[in-house]
Structure 1
Amino acid sequence: MLSIPGGATESETEEEVEEVLQAPWKLILYDDDIHTFDEVIEQLMKATGCGLSKAEELTWKVHNEGKAIVHEGEFEECLRIDSVLKEIQLITEIKG
């Protein structure tokens, strides 16, 4: 076990990193003037696996409020969904 500055061991640091990655992360989708409603709805369904009505609801929220949380969960899952949304250059942000 390595000693990390500050008194933590390597295994303690790895556990902390794992906890952070599993903490509830939020994937935020921002409004833009480029994509149509249909494009955003289709990409949300593809990325998150949600149904048409949920994708429409999220798209309207993004349109009306400027942004919306489209997924909450582990970092890796947010990253996967984010990459699908970015396939069509949607503007997103992951926050922890």
Structure 2
Amino acid sequence: MSTKKKIQEEVEVLEEVTKQHEIVLFNDDVNTFDFVIDSLIEVCEHTLEQAEQCTLLVHYKGKCTVKTGEYSDLKPRCSSLLTKGLSAEII
């Protein structure tokens, strides 16, 4: 096997292993800014500033990526956001 082919295969495996997913939070007309901010701090471990910025982006843009990582880490976080009545999905 050529060195170039071997390196390419290693890169493909590494990309597969480290594939990142995102939790996207969507705007709604139900939850208050404070509730969304508190939820992001609790569930996504945001700082106050991160949570405020994400909440403003969700409000004005309609959605925002609030957490990036491996699916196994994001799934329970997304479920917690949904349980709180927020609209979110993993992409």
Do the aligned residues in 2 keep the contact of 1:46 with 1:84 (CA within 8 Å)? no
Map of 1:5 onto structure 2: none
Give 1:44's match in structure 2, choosing from 36, 40, 44: 40
The one-character-per-residue Cα deviations of 1:2-61 (angstroms, maximum 9, x if unpaired) are: xxxxxxxxxxxxxx8xx46x5110110000000000000000000011111110000000
| TM-score scaled by length of structure 1 | 0.74
Counterpart-to-counterpart distance in 1, 2:41 and 2:83 = 13
- Report deviation, 1:87: 2.2
User: Which residue pairs with 1:92 in the alignment?
Assistant: 88
- Confirm or deny that 1:31 pairs with 2:31: no
User: Identity across aligned pairs (percent)?
Assistant: 35
Q: Partner of 1:55: helix, strand, or coil?
A: helix
Contact 1:62 1:68 in 2 (8 A): yes
Over 3 Å off, 4+ runs? none
Structure 1 counterpart of 2:67: 71
- Determine which structure has the larger helix proportion and give its number: 2
TM-score, structure 2 normalization: 0.78
Distance 1:30 1:42 in 2: 16
Q: How many residues align?
A: 77
Alignment RMSD = 1.4
* Alignment match, 1:53: 49
Structure 1: state its 5+ residue gaps. 1-15
Amino acid at match of 1:55: A
